[in-house]
Amino acid sequence: MVDVQQGFTVLDVVLTLVPVVLVFVLMAAFKIAGDISGVIGWIAVVAVAVLFFSTPLEVALLASWKGVLASMAITGMTIFAILQITFIQETGALKRIVTTIKTIAKKDKVAQIMILNVCIGTILVSVGATPVTILPPILLAMGYTTVLAIALPALGFDALCTYAMLGVSVVVMSDILTGAGFTIDGQAPTVQTVSMFFARYLPFVTPCICAAMTLMVGGPRLLAKGIVPILITGLSLGLTAMAVAYIGIGVVLTGVIAGVVGLACMLLYLKARRMPLFDRSDLTAEDLSTEKSMPLWKALSPWGLLIVFCLLTNFVGPLYDFLYKSLEMRVFVFPGDAGQPMRILWNAYFWVLVSTLLATFIIRPQKGTWSRVVKKWGKRFYRPTIASLAFFMLAYVMMYSANVPSPESGVWGQPDPSRNMIYIWAMTAADAFSWAYPIANSFLGLISGFVTGSEASTIALFAKYNLISSDVLGLNPLYVIAGGGIGAGLASVITPVKLQQASATIDRVGEESMVLRKVFGYAVCLVAVSAALTMIFCTIG
């Protein structure tokens, strides 16, 4: 046990847990949606912070506003990624893309699983699309069971979930650590620095995910038969992610680059086995008609344009420096605030919007299409947007609880750090778990990912807490935070939000609970691997 001079009571610990436990119970037990649960959790945390932890209401509300600003990397992406996928659906482009995807690697089951759910799934989620809404109908049409059609897309991209939506998690983590005053050799942690710590997990975690998916589909026999494509896919994606992180250029495109490399490796594997990558033998008359309706390049143009813009803004040095550094658009919320860099013209969500609008001139949708797009988008985007905002607001109220403006300067400070909710969590966890803290934190990430449905939200909630605990225990906080983040990413396969989305796309709403029971054990085992890696990394440095 760690000898910590706590300065708080057991009741204080219980009170800090109330908002998070409340959200968990609302979502898991009462099946209340994430946006409603998140707002209730935020109201609860404001009440607890003000009534029990010496936090002025003004501080709680301004901290909430800072959380809104910090969330924009993921909230903005949520808003405009939903706009883009709605546009792709309503123009018929998605149907055209699906027709091609259905023909991939039909003579090698394991290769097909790797290409569709790992390589393509990772690319899709990296550019802001959602594998759990696109791939289930395809897999069901290809003969997979309902459970597998829902579970495989939710699991396939989880290894590189950190790089979902053009690296939003590493961007959020970099901003939070900078705002908390954390430095490495006197320098604020960059997106590349953060990425390097996550990337070290991937050559180990990715093959394990590939193996879990194969085991899920065909049991030990298919696992033994498919060991070669499993290792090719897992290692190619994992090592590519490491290479991008260490090179330090185009980090937000890691998922796209890794997915493309994985696809290329699987193409070489199929060619070596003299198997076709595309098998059109089972295409229906409707499929052939869809093919004729639109060229594939045109259907892919929104994502193609997005990737081009992201390449330009990340690989062209002067443009990157201008957009990321010169135009950081830092917003200061309160006296003494380090500020929140918005980087609107660099962040991926801006280019998602631009690529969607420009794709209009390529696809040339029929009259009335944009009206339908806007109408559907209006119904789709606001609830996940509210959920994203609510969880960030909740996290930031906890982070800034017990702060009080100075009577002279107005600068915020903590007269008594032991009244800060994050401090209480951190000290309690350090005392309770001691050397096993990295293991416990990885599973805490799994639980948080289950509740919030987002790795970025988990990082926002626990980053500062992990900083404090790691300092007390003498651990490298970046490995600890990364371990929790990886755990939250792996929760994608069990989070009710994603499973319900997948079920809805194949008209199987209500069957997600059956999927959850089947995949829960896989998620726990994969997080155990991540926890073991965190212990190893923390030990060897």
What's the rounded mean pLDDT across residues 123-141?
A: 77
| Percent of the residues in the chain that have a pLDDT greater than 70, as a whole number | 94
- Integer-rounded Cα Rg, in Å, for the chain is 23
Beta carbons of 476 and 182 less than 8 angstroms apart: no
Chain centre to alpha carbon of residue 356: 22
- Across 173-187, 363-377, 397-411, least confident range: 173-187
If one compares 248 and 7, the residue with the highest pLDDT of the two is 248
The strand pairing partners of 278, in sequence order, are 104
Whether the predicted pLDDT of 3 surpasses 60:
no
- Across 7-21, 133-147, 259-273, least confident range: 133-147
Task: State how far the Cα of 516 lies from the Cα of 512, in Å rounded to an integer.
Answer: 6
Q: Where does the pLDDT of residue 73 fall: very low under 50, low under 70, confident under 90, or very high at 90 and above?
A: confident
Whether the predicted pLDDT of 497 surpasses 70:
no
Domain definitions of the chain by residue range: 79-102+283-369
In this structure, what are the phi and psi dihedrals at residue 404, rounded to the nearest 5 degrees? -135, 130
Whether the predicted pLDDT of 4 surpasses 60:
no
For all residues of the chain together, what is the average pLDDT?
86
Whether the predicted pLDDT of 2 surpasses 50:
no
Whether the predicted pLDDT of 5 surpasses 60:
no
Q: 10 Å Cβ neighbour count for 289?
A: 11
For residue range 459-475, list pLDDT tens digits in order: 877 787 788 888 888 88
Whether the predicted pLDDT of 216 surpasses 50:
yes
For residue range 414-425, list pLDDT tens digits in order: 888 889 988 888
What pLDDT was estimated at residue 171?
A: 83
Q: Cα torsion for 183, 186, 190, 196, to the nearest 10°? A: -80
* List of residues 6+ apart from 137 with CB closer than 8 A: 98, 149, 505, 506
For residue range 341-364, list pLDDT tens digits in order: 888 998 888 998 999 999 999 999
* List of residues 6+ apart from 188 with CB closer than 8 A: 174, 177, 178, 182
If one compares 536 and 75, the residue with the highest pLDDT of the two is 536
Whether the predicted pLDDT of 511 surpasses 80:
no
For residue range 437-455, list pLDDT tens digits in order: 889 888 888 877 776 667 8
Whether the predicted pLDDT of 521 surpasses 80:
yes
Task: State how far the Cα of 310 lies from the Cα of 472, in Å rounded to an integer.
Answer: 39
Beta carbons of 445 and 462 less than 8 angstroms apart: yes
* List of residues 6+ apart from 278 with CB closer than 8 A: 100, 103, 104
Q: 10 Å Cβ neighbour count for 65?
A: 15
Task: State how far the Cα of 182 lies from the Cα of 194, in Å rounded to an integer.
Answer: 12
Task: State how far the Cα of 539 lies from the Cα of 480, in Å rounded to an integer.
Answer: 11
Whether the predicted pLDDT of 168 surpasses 50:
yes
Q: Which residue has the tokens 């017990």?
A: 402
For residue range 317-336, list pLDDT tens digits in order: 899 889 988 998 999 999 98
**Helices (H), ranges, 33-145:** 34-52, 57-70, 72-90, 93-101, 109-113, 121-126, 131-141
- Residue 195 identity (one-letter amino acid): S
What pLDDT was estimated at residue 500?
A: 64
What DSSP state is assigned to residue 188?
Answer: P
- Across 3-17, 57-71, 192-206, 250-264, least confident range: 3-17
| Percent of the residues in the chain that have a pLDDT greater than 90, as a whole number | 37
Beta carbons of 458 and 452 less than 8 angstroms apart: yes
What's the rounded mean pLDDT across residues 290-305?
A: 93
Beta carbons of 397 and 42 less than 8 angstroms apart: yes
Which SS3 state, helix, strand or coil, does residue 413 take? strand
Task: State how far the Cα of 459 lies from the Cα of 6, in Å rounded to an integer.
Answer: 24
What's the rounded mean pLDDT across residues 83-105?
A: 87
